[in-house]
Structure 1
Amino acid sequence: MGIGKFLTGVTLATGVGLAAYFTLTKQDPRVWAKRVGDQVKETADQVDDIKVAKDNLTDKVQALNTAVDAATPVITDIQNQVDKFAFKVAPHVAVIEDKVSRWDNL
């Protein structure tokens, strides 16, 4: 029964503390309780919004990872084609640079 007396004492102390608070601040307990209830509901709604936003972000990150994984072979193929093109035009670019250099030296 020790825990029962403890819980009774805590409950009574809380009740007396709230009664003193309401008396000193001249607040109506019903208005205070409604305001606290509204704040709790608003906080719960905000927590739900955060959970939804987190789930959306997780979905978007997964979609991005999938897109990046799918794009990697394409990017590699494009890089290979660019390297081949650069190799093919390199002799022509060297001739052009040589001619430009001769013009600069005239």
Structure 2
Amino acid sequence: MGIGRFIMGTTLAAGVGLAAYLVATQQDPRTWGQHVKHQVRETSDQITAIRQSTDRVSASTQQLTAAITAVEPVLADIQGAVDKFTFKIAPRVANIEEIVAKWDRN
């Protein structure tokens, strides 16, 4: 019985508090109830939108991870080609640098 009285007392106090609030702010209970209902729906819609956004971000992150993993071999091939090209043109670059150095001395 102690818990029942506690719940009833809490409910009664909340009701009295709400009634006092509505009287003090001069609000109609129906209008206040509709406003609260609208706020609850809006909050629910926002929570749903956040969850959907979180799911989209998660999916995009997974796609990005897969794309980065797929591109790593291509980047390695490109770096290998650049290294080969640099090795092949190194003697020519050295000759060009020697010629420029001779021109600068003269």
User: For the superposition of Structure 1 and Structure 2, which TM-score range results when normalised by the shorter chain?
Assistant: over 0.9
**Aligned AA (1:23):** V
Task: Map 1:1-106 onto structure 2 (within 5 A).
Answer: 1-106=1-106
Amino acid at match of 2:103: W
Unaligned runs of 5+ in 1: none
Moved over 2 A (4+): none
Query: Aligned to 1:27, what secondary structure does the other structure show?
Result: coil
1:24: Cα distance to partner? 1.1
Q: Quote the RMSD (CA, aligned, Å).
A: 0.6
Identity %: 52
| Structure 2 residues not aligned, in runs of 5+ | none
Aligned residues: 106
Q: What TM-score do you get using the length of structure 1 for normalisation?
A: 0.98
Q: CA deviation at 1:14?
A: 0.5
* TM score, norm. by length of structure 2: 0.98
CA distance in 1, matches of 2:22, 2:74: 70
